[in-house]
Copies of this chain bind each other. A is one copy, B any other.
Amino acid sequence: MKTFTRADIDALPQRYRAAMINSVSGFKSASMIGTVSAEGQPNLCIVSSVVHLGSNPPLMGFVMRPPVVPRHTYENILSTGFYTINHVSTAQYREAHQSSASYAQEVSEFEAVGLPAGWREGFPSPYVAGAPLVLGMKFIREMPIEENDTRFIIGEVVWMDVPEDCIASDGYVNIEKAGTVTLSGLDAYHRTERLARLSYAKPDKALQELTD
């Protein structure tokens, strides 16, 4: 093990530090956020910070970087109040990564990276056709993280498309079977191999493996 003090971390070159600190938080969700501007321009961007906040109501959060450059996703969420969260799959991870490039406002990342947009009747934001799992989200509010001017975006699930053959009898969704990938650092994509599902833990009771 190599120990880094805080002084060591602060002394690292900026890009090296970003690559390292982004790695040490562990594996990340890989999602694409689909939005549309008030003028009707679709937008797509990959994020690695979607996190489960609660199931009742169904809440998700994710982190938006500072709006020092135009952040189309952020502006679109605020102006329309809606967005989609689309799982990144083994089949689409290169296109998803490409969506992080700084395209001009008038460019649709769906078209630029070659991912087809889908539209749900009565829902303003586009989703990624072919994504293994899609959440239709309603913006609730943002919490500012003053230390670095990022914002934590909180939203609630208003609909979701889940692959039916991946739903276990207890409600667990086998996202590995669905083809969802995980991210590490800024740019590493991984598929997964399940080790086990483990039973609800209780003191003095041995864990069982769940077979579903």
Question: Which of A's residues lie within 8 Å of B, judged by CB?
Answer: 1-6, 9-10, 12-31, 48-61, 63, 87, 90, 93-94, 97-104, 107, 112, 133-135, 140, 143, 145, 147-148, 150, 152, 154, 156-164, 167-168, 170-176, 180-182, 184-203, 205, 207, 210
Contact = CB atoms under 8 A, between A and B. Distances in A.
A209 to B, nearest CB: 10
A58 B4 CA distance: 12
Contacts of A16: 170-171
A66 to B, nearest CB: 9
A87 B26 contact: yes
A103 B203 contact: yes
A160 B181 CA distance: 27
Contact of A175 (B18, B23, B99): B23
Contact of A203 (B49, B60, B102): B102
Contact of A191 (B61, B97, B195): B195
Most-contacted residue by chain B among A90, A197, A210 (CB, 10 A) = A197
A125 B97 CA distance: 38
A142 B27 CA distance: 23
Contacts of A133: 24
